[in-house]
Amino acid sequence: MDDYGALQAHARDLGLSVGAINPNVFQDEDYKLGSMCHPDPAVRRKATERMLECVEIAGATGSKVLSLWFADGTNYPGQDDFRERKGRMEAVLAEVYRAMPPGLRMMLEYKPFEPAFYGTDLFDWGISLLTCQKLGPQAQVLVDLGHHLQGTNVEQIVAVLLDEGRLGGFHFNNRKYADDDLIVGSINPYELFLIFGELVAAEGSEREALRAGASAVAYMLDQSHNIERKIPAMIRSVLNVHAALAKALLVDRVALRQRQQAGDVIGANSLLVDAYETDVRPLLAHVRAALGCPAPEDPLGAFTASGYLEQIAAARKEGVAAGWG
């Protein structure tokens, strides 16, 4: 638990992760046909016990978030019954929910496909929200930016979930095709800006509950750095997130609302474009300097120039085998 504590502290310093407990290690043969939705009650029991154990750990460690993603689903038409599986998911989660201590939030992540290729049990925000509604107010939806069918308007889903008080958190990453898990903002930075726009607007709302919900949103990076070095990739990720947020904060929301009310389509859109076109790197350097960051102007360049990567790579070569990146 020492390591975990250190990890939590580190995460808190980065301001990115929130010490979430994630029990998704349902990898053994028993879970081949599902965990929460498995047709065999014995397997569901086993999975439930694992979940209850996680809730207990969360209580013991003071974790505030129980972040859940289930690989449950089917690969072939007829393999199992959609409605029965839905009922099993609801029943198991209800038992877990009842065991949760007061301060813990359950976050239900959705995903349209993979590893299940015909039907995933929590396949979109709608089914996650429906499940949360049945559980209670401590259950919220987790939005992984890569878990949507092509064409999905993610910022609109964010707005809807905020409005319902059910946006729990994010898994940040980016994709061009499926769940590609690329660096956040690397493929479609404007979408990331628009998502932050919804969050900023909610945080500045006159509705107190909306403000509270928006400021409690948990942000996590969930990426796979298959070919790039991990530390530069994380720095790039943080830079991209900061830029999108800073630009979203620059939008003149009073003027925006006036133009929206007046039906001035191009005028309203141009307010977003103007904020987005602004170069926020000087501002962010200023903020980083104020936070005591040693290389506020160019964290990525400074890291590269430091030679740290080559240093640890050399050290590791003598020890354990190095993976890609």
Does position 273 interact with a second copy (CB under 8 A)? The reply is yes
Q: What is d(CA 99, CA 51) in angstroms, rounded to the nearest whole number? A: 10
Does position 299 interact with a second copy (CB under 8 A)? The reply is no
Does position 22 interact with a second copy (CB under 8 A)? The reply is no
User: Which residue in 80, 109, 144, 222 binds a second copy (CB under 8 A)?
Assistant: 80
Number of residues forming the site for a second copy (CB under 8 A): 97
Segment contacting a second copy (CB under 8 A): 9-17, 46-54, 56-64, 225-233? 225-233
Half-sphere exposure of 62 (CA within 13 A, CB side): 4
Q: What is d(CA 232, CA 241) in angstroms, rounded to the nearest whole number? A: 14
Instruction: State which of positions 87-106 bind a second copy (CB under 8 A).
Output: 87
Comparing CB distances to a second copy, the nearer of 228 and 293 is: 228
The least distance separating a second copy from the CB of residue 175, rounded to whole angstroms, comes to 7
Comparing CB distances to a second copy, the nearer of 20 and 193 is: 193
Comparing CB distances to a second copy, the nearer of 149 and 289 is: 149
Comparing CB distances to a second copy, the nearer of 20 and 243 is: 243
Does position 180 interact with a second copy (CB under 8 A)? The reply is yes
Comparing CB distances to a second copy, the nearer of 16 and 268 is: 268
Q: Are 162 and 210 in contact (CB under 8 A)?
A: yes
Comparing CB distances to a second copy, the nearer of 21 and 108 is: 108
Residues 6+ apart with CB under 8 A from 262: none
Does position 236 interact with a second copy (CB under 8 A)? The reply is yes
x/- letters, 41..70, toward a second copy (CB under 8 A): ------------------------------
Instruction: State which of positions 134-173 bind a second copy (CB under 8 A).
Output: 149-153, 155-156, 159-160, 162-164
